[in-house]
Chains A and B, each alone.
Chain A
Amino acid sequence: MTYNPYFKSTADDSFGANFAVFIVKFNNQTIPYTQNFGTSTAVPTFTSTRATVSSIETLRNPFDESLTIGSDGKIMTPPGKYWLDGRLGMRNGTSTYNYQIGFSFGIGGYIDSLSEERWLRKQGVAYLEETVNRYIRKNVQCYYEASSSSSYVRVYHRRAYSSWPAGSNPELNRDGSSDFSTSTSYPYGATRLLVMRLE
């Protein structure tokens, strides 16, 4: 069928493109120091780098199946095509020495044809929503195709420096209300994974 950009929907197909939207939420966790962040293809083997899931919120799901929480931070994905958008929200430390340091952040996915989990995308992310040092963004975005009941995706994080001049330890999803004397629980922003099922 030739695609017609000016095609107007009728009552029969007025629902627009079919897609589902989920928001995956994560637990409070220390962002660990590890010597490596996997390889260019393989995800890290350190379990401390796995972001563990607290809950999954369904915003819209016209499909029959849903995401489920697996073990060790796995987000089980029914067979289908997905767009993933992860945001790393963290408390960096206790001092103002916070502009320089970035984090490693990435999303892995189980590849059936390889029978193993591989990177879908990884990159450095900044603490501040500002261009500093070499890091620009706080998000990792990628595409994934789940092909079996064992398909899953998983979010990884770490810091690349063993010492931490910003003080204390960086953490995911720390309740920062006392740090800021504010009623806002997460002034640092929360770590979230947006999952869109496209087909």
Chain B
Amino acid sequence: MTHRPIVHKNLKVMNLDVVYPTDISEYNVGTISQYYYYTARNFIGNLTDYNLVQHTRSDDTFELPAGRYIIRTVIPVHEPTNNTSFTGYVQWQIFSSSSLNGTYTASGTKGRSQPGYKPNDTGDNPGVHSFATAIIESNSTVYVQTRIIEKTNYLTSLSSASTDQGQVIIWRAD
């Protein structure tokens, strides 16, 4: 029998922040989220062999080596002014491709945010959650993005409220 040495395997994880949109056009369908490292976090993670590259905007695409990944994103969505009848919402999903400028395919659950004054489940759909999650498996380099896939009744201008809820988390199981 061929001897195969013991491979020490560890879970790998990293997390970055999602850039907070400054213009309502950034919630248009097809917009790709941008990522950044907020230095006050102090740590990113032990998954280090990735690159942030540009597809349509700077740092909007992860270039990941072959592997199995679980990816989860939350897109920060501005709240409108206190409006009890506000039913607008934004949805997003994770997309992947085998080349940076190739064809991207959506996968996994959709994330959805309906910022409003009161809870309101208008727009709830099966498979829609407060974050988007996808499992990506590839035997070659894979490119991963988060894109806006729906914007419904979300017409208000952006408020100045600042939050830091946007986050992308990537796990690799070796």
Q: Which residues of A contact B (CB under 8 A)?
A: 3-7, 10, 12-13, 16-19, 40-41, 81, 83, 99-100, 109, 111, 118-124, 128, 130-137, 141-145, 196, 198-199
Are the C-beta atoms of A3 and B67 separated by less than 8 Å? yes
Say which residue of A18, A83, A136, A143 sits within 8 Å of B74 (CB atoms): A136
Chain B's nearest CB lies how many Å from the CB of A143? 4
What residues of chain B lie closer than 8 Å to A81, measured between beta carbons?
Answer: 46
Residue B113 is within 8 A (CB to CB) of chain A in the complex: yes
Chain B's nearest CB lies how many Å from the CB of A194? 13
C-alpha spacing A111/B139, complex, angstroms = 37
Are the C-beta atoms of A109 and B42 separated by less than 8 Å? yes
- With A5-B139, A120-B41 already in contact, the answer to whether A131 and B12 are too (CB < 8 A) is no
Are the C-beta atoms of A99 and B40 separated by less than 8 Å? no
C-alpha spacing A181/B62, complex, angstroms = 50
C-alpha spacing A119/B17, complex, angstroms = 14
Chain A's nearest CB lies how many Å from the CB of B169? 6
Are the C-beta atoms of B174 and A128 separated by less than 8 Å? no
Query: What would 14 A/B residue contacts be, using CB atoms closer than 8 Å?
Result: A7-B7, A17-B9, A18-B8, A18-B10, A19-B10, A99-B117, A99-B118, A132-B117, A132-B119, A135-B163, A135-B165, A141-B169, A198-B11, A198-B13
What residues of chain B lie closer than 8 Å to A10, measured between beta carbons?
Answer: 4
Count of B interface residues, CB-CB < 8 Å: 50
C-alpha spacing A90/B129, complex, angstroms = 22
Say which residue of B43, B117, B167, B174 sits within 8 Å of A120 (CB atoms): B43
What residues of chain A lie closer than 8 Å to B67, measured between beta carbons?
Answer: 3, 5
Are the C-beta atoms of A130 and B119 separated by less than 8 Å? yes
Residue B65 is within 8 A (CB to CB) of chain A in the complex: yes
Residue B26 is within 8 A (CB to CB) of chain A in the complex: no
Are the C-beta atoms of A118 and B10 separated by less than 8 Å? no
What residues of chain A lie closer than 8 Å to B163, measured between beta carbons?
Answer: 123-124, 134-135
Are the C-beta atoms of A13 and B40 separated by less than 8 Å? no
Are the C-beta atoms of A5 and B6 separated by less than 8 Å? no
- With A99-B118, A133-B115, A143-B15 already in contact, the answer to whether A199 and B46 are too (CB < 8 A) is yes
C-alpha spacing A96/B41, complex, angstroms = 35
What residues of chain A lie closer than 8 Å to B165, measured between beta carbons?
Answer: 123-124, 135-137
What residues of chain A lie closer than 8 Å to B4, measured between beta carbons?
Answer: 10, 12-13
Are the C-beta atoms of B174 and A133 separated by less than 8 Å? no
Are the C-beta atoms of A137 and B130 separated by less than 8 Å? yes
Are the C-beta atoms of A118 and B130 separated by less than 8 Å? no
- With A121-B41, A142-B15 already in contact, the answer to whether A134 and B161 are too (CB < 8 A) is yes
Are the C-beta atoms of A119 and B139 separated by less than 8 Å? no
